[in-house]
Amino acid sequence: MENAPNEPNRSGGALRILWLFCAFIPALIGIGTLDAQNLPDWVGPALLVFSGACCLVSAFGVLGGVKNMALRVIFGILLAVFFFILNAIIVVFVGCSGMGRISP
């Protein structure tokens, strides 16, 4: 039994899906604030900082299996920028479509 081959860790795929879910939490929060009125002035910059941090952390989480640190940093930053732009596009498209609004 000591010479039995080690089974590969298969939980990495499920963890990457959770990191991808975390990357799009800022879009959900942004969609939730579309119809809000009388928000304080600090909410916009706070959402931008939160979105950037969420995208950066989840990009590095998705790339957790990359062993080379230089590639991990370069691709992590590129993936974080991609997530940030994708979140912004999602919020803009949902805001322009009027989805979720209740007509008077």
**pLDDT reported for residue 10:** 57
Q: Is residue 72 part of a domain?
A: yes
**pLDDT reported for residue 34:** 85
Distance between CA atoms of residues 75 and 83, nearest Å = 12
Q: Is residue 14 part of a domain?
A: no
Domain span at residue 65? Answer: 22-32+42-93
Q: Is residue 27 part of a domain?
A: yes
The set of residues, in sequence order, having a beta carbon less than 8 Å from that of 19 and lying 6+ positions away, is 58, 61, 62, 64
Domain total of the chain:
1
Q: Is residue 17 part of a domain?
A: no
Contact of 75 with 66, CB cutoff 8 Å: yes
Distance between CA atoms of residues 100 and 102, nearest Å = 7
Report DSSP state, residue 89. Answer: H
- Enter the tokens of residue 28: 């959900």
Q: Is residue 99 part of a domain?
A: no
Distance between CA atoms of residues 95 and 9, nearest Å = 41
Dihedral (C-alpha) 85, 89, 90, 93: value to the nearest 10 degrees?
Answer: 180
**pLDDT reported for residue 70:** 93
**pLDDT reported for residue 46:** 95
Q: Is residue 103 part of a domain?
A: no
Q: What is the mean pLDDT of each run of 10 residues along the chain (104 residues)?
A: 56 80 93 86 93 95 90 95 96 83 57
Q: Is residue 28 part of a domain?
A: yes
**pLDDT reported for residue 22:** 92
Q: Is residue 56 part of a domain?
A: yes
**pLDDT reported for residue 50:** 96
